Amino acid sequence: MKNLKKRLKQGETLHGCWLNTGSSLTAEIVGLAGFDWVLIDLEHGAGSERDVFNQLQALEHTATAAIVRVESSESQRIHRVLDMGAEGIMCPKITGPEGALKVVQGLHYPPDGKRGVAKMVRATGFGQYFDQYYRDAKDNMLGVAQIETVEVLDHLDEVAAVEGIDVLFVGPADLSMELGIFGQFDHPRFKEALKATVDAAGKAGKATGILFFNPDDYKIYHDLGIRFLACGSDATFVADGARNLAKKLNSFRP
């Protein structure tokens, strides 16, 4: 474990990005680049659970912690990737405290949750250090609830109060879409929802996170008190690099 949850509780600002190609090679490249964490995306990414296993192996020797976004809060989806060695779970489309609690139940062993127990899995060194893993799991596993529905905006305080939810993470694309102002991140309604999320998290002693698309916007979100910041993805890194180089080469064409 790479102490992601502990560092966040200590008030550190942590930088991350998305992994959505399903590639263990890009996972390793990004892991060596200097990010604090990465998000392996099973909701919209190209990879499957089998690819997650390989990506986690590729990230093991880097300093970057791995969180997995599961498709839903169904316990089986959460258990699978935790047994593979994920250090946290992000769950999309949380609408209220009931959904947040379901995430926590899948994230933690009894009595704090309902996670099933399996010793011979990658997360425990295939049984070699299960006792230590079991003992430390509650303090190490990061629970991230995505704030991206209209419904959840009426329950932010309740979601933030759920023990085991450590980060309220704003999904800007989905949230702005549901608010009827897609992509308008300067719109008063989006800014109001963002501030309400930060306030609710702060009152509960939790962190706020967001994915943003322009690194020049970093100060805007950091000044709001957001400390779990993500920008970019392996796919955009490759696409932008390829386009920029092709454009430069084309500019030299006789």
In a domain, 242, yes or no: yes
- How large is the average pLDDT for residues 40-48? 97
- Sequence-separated (6 or more) residues with CB below 8 Å from residue 90: 39, 67, 68, 69, 70, 144, 145, 146, 169
- Sequence-separated (6 or more) residues with CB below 8 Å from residue 147: 94, 153, 156, 159, 168, 169, 170, 171, 175, 193, 197
pLDDT of residue 214: 95
- How large is the average pLDDT for residues 223-229? 98
pLDDT of residue 37: 98
- The overall longest dimension of the chain from CA atoms, in Å, is 70
Asked whether the predicted pLDDT for residue 1 surpasses 90, the reply is no
Domain extent, residue 84, equals: 4-145+211-251
- Sequence-separated (6 or more) residues with CB below 8 Å from residue 216: none
Selected catalytic residue, list 44, 61, 155, 222 = 44
In a domain, 218, yes or no: yes
pLDDT range class, residue 17, cuts 50, 70, 90: very high
In a domain, 161, yes or no: no
In a domain, 138, yes or no: yes
Q: How far is CA 96 from the centre of its chain?
A: 18
Q: Indicate the burial class of 217 (C-beta count within 10 angstroms; 0-12, 13-18, 19 or more).
A: middle
Q: How far apart are CA 207 and CA 151, in angstroms?
A: 20
pLDDT of residue 52: 98
Percent of the chain scoring above 70 in pLDDT: 100
Per-residue pLDDT tens over the stretch 141-180: 999 999 999 999 999 999 999 999 999 999 999 999 999 9
Asked whether the predicted pLDDT for residue 226 surpasses 90, the reply is yes
Residue 15 annotated to the active site:
no
Per-residue pLDDT tens over the stretch 130-151: 999 999 999 999 999 999 999 9
In a domain, 104, yes or no: yes
- How large is the average pLDDT for residues 234-238? 97
In a domain, 198, yes or no: no
- Structure-token match 């996670």, residue found: 115
- How large is the average pLDDT for residues 184-189? 97
In a domain, 156, yes or no: no
- How large is the average pLDDT for residues 94-110? 97
Query: Number of folded domains in the chain?
Result: 1
pLDDT of residue 75: 87
CATH number at residue 126: 3.20.20.60
